[in-house]
Amino acid sequence: MSDVNDANIRQLFVMHFNREGNACNTAEDSLYNLTRVQAALYWYTNHLLMKIQKDTQQKVKFVQGDEQQAAKWERMGGAEEFGDNSIVLTSPPGESGMLYLRDSEKYRDVRVSAKLEGNVVGRQTIYLRYDRQKESFVRLLLENNELKLEEKQAGRPLVELSKATLSEIHWKPEDLAYDKATVYSKAQTEAGAAKEDPGYPVNISHMRLREIALSGKRLTVSVDKQVVIDSQETAQDSGGIALESRYSEQNQKDDIYDAVFTDVSVVAPAAGEPGKETNLFRNAYSGWRV
Could you write out the DSSP letters of every residue in 6-68?
HHHHHHH-S--EEEES-S---TTS-TTSEEE----TT--HHHHHHHHHHHH----PPP-B-HH
Task: Compute the distance between CA of residue 282 and CA of residue 290 in angstroms, rounded to an integer.
Answer: 20
Could you tell me which of 136, 119, 150 has the C-alpha nearest to residue 248? 119
Q: If you compute the radius of gyration of the chain from its CA atoms, what whole number of angstroms results?
A: 22
Look over the chain and give the mean of its residue pLDDT values, rounded to a whole number: 84
Cβ proximity of 252 and 191 under 8 Å: no
Per the DSSP assignment, residues forming a β-bridge with 219 are: 214, 232
Residue 222's pLDDT is 94
Q: Count CB atoms within 10 A of the CB of residue 229.
A: 18
Domains belonging to the chain, first-starting first, are 60-282 (2.60.120.560)
What local confidence, expressed as pLDDT, does residue 191 receive? 46
- What integer pLDDT is reported at residue 167 of this predicted model? 84
State pLDDT tens for residues 23-58. Answer: 566 556 655 565 666 788 899 999 999 999 998 889
**Which residue ranges of the chain lie beneath pLDDT 70?**
1-37, 172-198, 272, 287-290
Catalogue the E-assigned strands of 37-171: 73-77, 79-82, 86-90, 96-101, 110-116, 123-131, 136-143, 146-152, 159-165
The string of pLDDT tens digits covering residues 171-220 is 766 555 555 444 344 444 344 444 445 578 888 888 999 999 999 999 99
**For the whole model, what pTM was predicted?**
0.84
